[in-house]
Amino acid sequence: MAQAVQASLGQIPEHALAVSVEVAAARVRLRFQLSEATEDDVADMDDIVSELEGLVGPDVHVDRIHEVRPQREIISPSEGVIWIFLARV
C-alpha cells in the first residue's frame, strides 16, 4: 500500500475522481475513476504503474484499469480494495 501511495505522489491524473489499490497475492491492480480520460490522464496512469512496478520489483504483477464516471463510486464490490485518493470537492 505504501508503495502505491509513493508511486502516485504528484502524478494523480487531473480528472481523477478516485484511485484504489487491490492486492491479491502477488498481483496489484490500480483502479482509477475519472470524470474524463485525456491523453495526459492516460500518461499519468501509465507513469504511476511504471513507478509502482519499480518499487515492488519483478515478482509482483501490476496492472491498472480505469473507468469514466459522472461521479465517484467508492463502494467496492469485492474485498481487498483500498481507496488511496478521493478527489477534493
Question: Can you give the CATH number for the domain in which 48 is found?
Answer: 3.30.70
pLDDT digits (tens, 9 = 90+) for 7-63: 788 889 999 999 999 998 899 999 999 999 999 999 999 999 999 999 999 999 999
Total count of domains within the chain: 1
State the pLDDT at residue 74. Answer: 83
Q: Which domain holds residue 44?
A: 2-86
Helix runs in the chain, H state only: 2-8, 39-56
84 vs 81: CA distance, rounded Å: 10
23 vs 14: CA distance, rounded Å: 24
State the pTM of this model. 0.87
Question: Strand pairing of 16-24 and 81-86?
Answer: antiparallel
pLDDT value at 86 more than 90: no
35 vs 6: CA distance, rounded Å: 23
pLDDT value at 89 more than 60: no
At 70 the three-state DSSP class reads coil
